[in-house]
Structure 1
């Protein structure tokens, strides 16, 4: 493995018990970055913290804004200022128009959207006070265009993309940078229920984490991959719907 150095001393990661964020946490810690790992209390979070002395578990529920604010205050009082906040808590539930899982839809919107803004609200004030910091938000390429069977997940990620755009406009000149991370399909337990035939250019969590950390130090507004999926979804998004809808229907049928 190629050794890398990163510009951050302390990273706070939400959703740290997940496959992608857990891999990012381990790679950062291996490179000498201190990592404050936040997720709901679980064996996975304990295992992550035990895997490297530079990773410290700070259990919290991202749906509880006061709990997150207290967690950020505790992290900074103990470990120092947070340089990088990777807001990665998220979930996916199948979406069936014949039997819509309303509870799953509401939980997805809450975790994927409220979880992001709750974490941002906790970490932004100290970053803005220091005129320094980097926030990275986990979105998805499938937030750019509707896609069969992803009604809950896609809607939540579309909201995250719009939120990131709004934050980027307002953070300009504050010293706080924002990066929106939009992967395509990643092979994780999160989307195991989704039809494998329809997972375009699916990648492993290790590949995903590697691509994120290769570009994140440069603080771009967006990190999106794979390129073919990015170009396809952004292109159909810009097309008239009379063209894009038939194109997506045709394309998804070819995957069956």
Structure 2
């Protein structure tokens, strides 16, 4: 039985004629946040199970982003911050595509807000629940503000199902930093939804990339960083093995996602 003629007004479930309770509104989605970016090297062959063949092959470089975001659609969420604020940890791997070009692919990402989770799944970012904590830099000359100058220290962590998975410590060098990870190249995601009418079949995947129409900020500050990834019984990201830090930066970023395109 199909009910697609019912005049609901919901972009995502729950589907109602008012659309008021829909978890996610249609794009554009506006994001602004504070990020700690840690680029690393890893064993490229070990990452093969994490990347679809149609995307390409891992080249052995990647990045973990710890992010403290604020997001909105028409701005009403900013008056009720529980709808707009969240933190997440993003892992992206650099991939060589079949045509020889390079991109990023997101095999894992953890978030603490259901709205962000569904927005991510629609973009092919495989979001799961996790608890991210990240030291903020505030525009004050004060010991608790972590001012953007040499010697200021910050940290970040991710826990998934009560087990700490990532931990990072960093210190500002006083030098300009670089954009890293998904800040440097288009990031491809895989979208696929199971159909319980055919539980014996796995979903067909569609490769998409977000349509980013505006970007601001990105004045990155160099940090020296160390990164530790612990083993986890329910996460495949441990297949990457030992991560060797290559570069790190921190700063603010704003961007707008208007939709997605085939990758």
TM-score by length of 1: 0.28
Higher relative contact order (CA 8 A, sep 6+): 2
Q: Quick check: which has more Rg, 1 or 2?
A: 2
TM-score, reference length from structure 2: 0.28
User: Could you say which structure has the higher strand fraction?
Assistant: 2
